[in-house]
Structure 1
Amino acid sequence: MTVPVRRLAALGVLAAVTAGCGTGQDSAPDPDRPSAPASPRASADARPPTLAPGPEGLAPVFKSGKRDGGKTVALTFDADMTADQGPRAAKGERFDNPELIATLRRLKVPSTVFMTGRWAEEYPDQARAIDADPLFEVANHSYSHYAFTSHCYGLPTIAPEKMRADVERAFRAFEKVGVENAMPYFRFPGGCYDRSALRNVAQAGVTAVQWDVVSGDAFATDADAVAEEVLRGVRPGSVVVLHCTRSAAPTTERVVRKVVPELRERGYRFVRVSELIRAQGAEEAPGRPSGGSAAAPSRTP
């Protein structure tokens, strides 16, 4: 299975960006790159950075960037939807959050969205628009959002022998809905993993991405408390976990509106996860292994 190379036609990108997930980008300069507005995507033969495989064939795990590499921080958003939540969506429950994506665009915040395959199938227009926007990058959050270990926040559990297939199924779901540039990064549902899980997802050729700052936005009702938790935890190189699921994380858009200007006031620059990994001196991802994960072109906002 191969990943289509991103088409670089500017008009095609603009149409995809404005098609879903709220409003398109405005013309204001990017506060994190004040010298110029968003620049064209990188050349198609560039590869995203990944970490070297761990010992004993385990997938590498990335939790935060370099502490001495400048005041950078990556906001990441989990777009959660389990394989069996279709009936709830059909009854009107919202697992998306277009207002959040619109706010990230308005504030010019580079971000990484960890998307389940089931979410992409439910919201294909939004998935394509996020992927087409050079401000964002899409990464894998499994297909089913089932846990890769037992006793993980009450999530259903996937069998070890099905873990690799679940990761690969998410990449196939992305391709089917038109997400062309999925990164070779994987976030475990609930953040739960063990050696068996790392060994199984390693076969999909992914770098596991965790975090060092827990926002606490899941099921929270007090946006100010969540924002304070983020602001208290962020250090240079931090990866912050938040959610892009309106029904399960209703305060996140308000949290972003408070956190972003405050961190910028403190001198922080927002980056995607790939930039933090590249700053670690990571290797460039090879082409997709047989039956394995995506290896997409890199891009700069």
Structure 2
Amino acid sequence: MGTPGASAPPVSPASPHTAGSSPAASPPPAKAPTLAPGPNGLTPVFERAKQQTDKTVALTFDADMTSDQGQRAADGEHFDNPQLIATLRGLKVPSTIFMTGRWAEEYPDQAKSIGTDPNFEIANHSYSHHAFTSPCYGLPALDAAAARADVDRAFAAFRTAGAVNTVPYFRFPGGCYDDQALRAVSTAKVTAVQWDVVSGDAFAKDPDAVAEQVLTGVKPGSVVVMHCTRSAAPVTEEAIRKIVPELRKRGYRFVKVSELIGK
């Protein structure tokens, strides 16, 4: 398969951003919009903008790390992807990072850098990356009380790291949920954010295939799910350098989830 669209030049990895180093981007709203609760007070779920005439698209990245992967990180496995973040900055792509609390604890400097850069907003992907319903890709499951506490613990980890651009959005680990899971997190007053475009970057080895899958699936108002972890998604950064210029060529504008919600 040929390369979809022109590739942007590589961008050098960035350390925590400084004034003038991050691209111009609108700061997050003082209060990020959320959806009204669903039936019987269940947590609302957002997948794609209702307003589907504007050519906007939200690229979202799951910064995954489970609560039991600390030793693997200590042994040298990389659950972060600073090159990806640098490329998003260099290409001036506003993005939403769905971060686990354990990731923020392992990489506090990166969490702070992302969470103080107006180009990004940090949303909650749980603390432990354990399942909120079962079965879910073999993930260990949490009961309702533990699930609610897990959400709070992740937000606390973001605060401890110094991230300030956080939004009240939650993505279920594995994307797995049911009414019981929606009920368990309802008191957290978050909007659950899913997606309508699966990038296929998890464990992928061919960036062209990932780019092609995204470019084929994107529609006005789409939410794309990708990953921000080198060990489990090693070609995401390269795919982004193909996806971004091609979507811009097609007239798309990149936005954070907070801009899509409510449209």
Contact 1:81–1:119 (CA under 8 A) maintained in structure 2:
yes
Correspondent of 1:243 among 227, 234, 241: 227
Contact 2:28–2:118 (CA under 8 A) maintained in structure 1:
no
Alignment deviations for residues 179-224 of structure 1 (CA, whole Å, 9 cap, x no partner): 1231100000000000000001111110000000000100010111
Name the TM-score, length of structure 1 as normaliser. 0.80
Change (3 A) 1:243 1:25: farther
Cross-structure match for 2:95: 111
Cα distance in 2 for residues equivalent to 1:213 and 1:164: 27
Deviation at 1:38, TM superposition (A): 3.8
Deviation at 1:102, TM superposition (A): 0.3
Correspondent of 2:180 among 171, 184, 196: 196
Cα distance in 2 for residues equivalent to 1:25 and 1:209: 31
Would you say 1:20 and 2:16 are equivalent positions?
yes
Give 1:221's aligned amino acid.
Answer: K
Deviation at 1:69, TM superposition (A): 3.7
**RMSD between superposed Cα atoms in Å:** 1.7
Cross-structure match for 1:164: 148
Correspondent of 2:136 among 152, 156, 161: 152
Cα distance in 2 for residues equivalent to 1:51 and 1:38: 24
Uncovered stretches (5+) of structure 1, i.e. residues with no partner: 1-17, 31-36, 280-301
Cα distance in 2 for residues equivalent to 1:149 and 1:73: 29
Cross-structure match for 2:44: 60
Cross-structure match for 2:61: 77
Correspondent of 2:203 among 187, 200, 219: 219
Cα distance in 1 for residues equivalent to 2:225 and 2:95: 11
Change (3 A) 1:73 1:161: same
Deviation at 1:26, TM superposition (A): 4.6
Contact 1:24–1:102 (CA under 8 A) maintained in structure 2:
no
Q: How many residues were matched structurally?
A: 250
Cross-structure match for 1:50: 34
Cα distance in 1 for residues equivalent to 2:181 and 2:158: 22
Contact 1:114–1:139 (CA under 8 A) maintained in structure 2:
yes
Cross-structure match for 1:15: none
Change (3 A) 1:51 1:233: same
Cross-structure match for 2:81: 97
Identity across the alignment (%): 70
Contact 1:24–1:105 (CA under 8 A) maintained in structure 2:
no
Query: Secondary structure of 2:67's match?
Result: coil
Uncovered stretches (5+) of structure 2, i.e. residues with no partner: 1-13
Would you say 1:120 and 2:104 are equivalent positions?
yes
Name the TM-score, length of structure 2 as normaliser. 0.91
Cα distance in 2 for residues equivalent to 1:103 and 1:278: 28
Deviation at 1:24, TM superposition (A): 8.1
Give 1:237's aligned amino acid.
Answer: G
Change (3 A) 1:180 1:42: closer
Change (3 A) 1:192 1:260: same
Contact 2:87–2:237 (CA under 8 A) maintained in structure 1:
yes
